[in-house]
């Protein structure tokens, strides 16, 4: 019986159930009250996690630490690709940038932060492909066109500059640019902030469609509970750097336990 472990198949049938992204005791404080307290977090394939909370509650800082853009003071972030797990802040910078380029997508709140304003829309989408070694103009252009139509931008605008795009279109272009290399995890920081309500609704529809089609894992930072309700499977509520409540979206929003969550939910206009 002692060597039963050797008899069993080496491959773990539950390996695919391991979280794609895992944070352990992750923390970063810029000053007391600015940053976030040690927290654990797991994100599985195809899952959408929303981080909600008021301004200054540490949401964006957490997102940066999770996406490899901010070395945290404490804790680690594990990213599983294939059989291996990479500790984002212990591997070399070259490896980290490689993971960020190939497997991560980052959607900024302001589209121009994530786009090159003086490069055509097609070039913006194609840049990610050229970064990973594409060297065929026709293929790059074909991919750019198919992604423009996937995000509902007229393909006639492929050679226009992003600065000539409306806010909603630029945001959709930014999403296309991030998804073209088929990332595994997409980090979104207030993707619908600053857009008017009808454009927001279309964008949310689009994100929801792409997430389910591509089986993306998404971490989305928002202060808008409606966005969280519509997109997220799970939700994490932050206040002053602390996670005050976490759980399934419906459970948290329909039956909030923490006083702050109750306040958040009750402050949304009810119909």
Partner 1 sequence: MQRFNQHLATLDADLGYNFGYLDEQTKRMIRRAILKGIAIPGYQVPFGGREMPMPYGWGTGGVMLSAAVLGRDDVFKVIDQGADDTTNAVSIRQFFAKVCQIDTTTSTDAASVIQTRHRIPEQALKHGQILIYQVPIPEPLRFIEPRETETQKMHALAEYGPMQVKLYEDIVKYGYIATSYAYPVMVNQRYLMDPSPIPKFDNPKLNQSPALMLFGAGREKRIYCIPPYTEVASLDFADHPFAVQQWSEPCSLCHSTTSFLDEVLIDDQGQRMFVCSDTDYCQQQQASKQEPCHG
Residues in touch with partner 1 (CB under 8 A): 93-94, 97, 116, 119-120, 122-123, 126-128, 130-132, 135-138, 140, 159
CB nearer to partner 1: give 131 or 254: 131
Residue 77 CB burial class (10 angstroms; 0-12, 13-18, ≥19):
buried
Pair 265, 225: CB distance under 8 Å: yes
On whether the CB atoms of residues 222 and 228 are closer than 8 A, the answer is yes
3-state secondary structure of 12: coil
Q: Is the Cβ–Cβ distance between 225 and 204 less than 8 Å?
A: no
Nearest distance from C-beta of residue 179 to partner 1, angstroms: 17
Distance set, CA 102 to CA 24, 27, 135, 149 (Å): 23, 26, 16, 22
Residues 6+ apart with CB under 8 A from 206: 151, 152, 172, 175
Quote the least distance from Cβ 184 to partner 1, whole Å: 20
Collapsed DSSP state (helix, strand, coil) of residue 83: coil
Largest distance between two CA atoms of the chain: 70
Our CB check for partner 1 shows the closer of 161 and 206 to be: 161
The smaller minimum CB distance to partner 1, of residues 128 and 172, is found at 128
Q: 29 vs 134, which CB is nearer to partner 1?
A: 134
Residue 12 C-beta-side C-alpha neighbours within 13 Å: 6
In the bound state with partner 1, the residue whose beta carbon lies nearer, of 92 and 198, is 92
Shortest separation between residue 72's beta carbon and partner 1, angstroms: 21
Q: What are phi and psi of 23, to 5 degrees?
A: -110, 135
Give the shortest CB-125-to-partner 1 separation in angstroms: 10
- Reduced to 3 states (helix: H, G, I; strand: E, B; else coil), residue 202 is helix
Shorter beta-carbon distance to partner 1: residue 112 or 119: 119
Smaller CB distance to partner 1: residue 105 or 122? 122
CB of 139 to partner 1, least distance (A): 8
Query: In the bound complex, what is the minimum distance in angstroms from residue 12's beta carbon to partner 1?
Result: 34
Q: Please tell me the distance from the alpha carbon of residue 264 to that of residue 54, in angstroms, as a whole number.
A: 9
State the nearest-atom distance from the C-beta of 218 to partner 1, in Å. 25
């Amino acid at each position: 019986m002692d060597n039963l472990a050797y008899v069993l198949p080496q491959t773990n049938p539950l390996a695919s159930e391991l979280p794609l992204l895992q944070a352990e005791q992750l923390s970063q404080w810029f000053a007391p009250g600015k940053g976030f307290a040690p927290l654990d977090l797991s994100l599985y394939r195809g899952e959408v996690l929303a981080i909600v909370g008021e301004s200054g509650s540490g949401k964006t800082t957490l997102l940066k630490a999770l996406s490899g853009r901010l070395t945290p003071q404490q804790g680690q972030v594990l990213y599983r690709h294939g059989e291996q797990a990479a500790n984002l802040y212990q591997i070399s910078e070259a490896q980290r940038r490689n993971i960020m380029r190939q497997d991560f997508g980052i959607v900024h709140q302001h589209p121009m932060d994530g786009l090159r304003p003086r490069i055509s829309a097609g070039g913006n989408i194609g840049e990610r492909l050229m970064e990973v070694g594409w060297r065929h103009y026709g293929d790059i252009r074909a991919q750019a066109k198919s992604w423009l139509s996937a995000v509902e931008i007229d393909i006639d605008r492929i050679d226009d500059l992003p600065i000539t795009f409306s806010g909603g279109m630029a945001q959709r272009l930014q999403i296309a640019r991030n998804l073209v290399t088929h990332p595994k995890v997409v980090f979104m920081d207030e993707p619908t902030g600053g857009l008017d309500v009808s454009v927001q609704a279309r964008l949310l529809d689009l994100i929801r469609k792409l997430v389910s089609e591509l089986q993306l894992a998404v971490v989305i930072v928002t202060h808008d509970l409606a966005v969280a309700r519509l997109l997220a499977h799970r939700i994490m509520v932050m206040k002053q750097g602390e996670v005050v409540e976490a759980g399934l979206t419906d459970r948290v929003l329909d039956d909030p336990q923490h006083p702050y969550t109750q306040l958040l939910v009750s402050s949304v206009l009810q119909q």
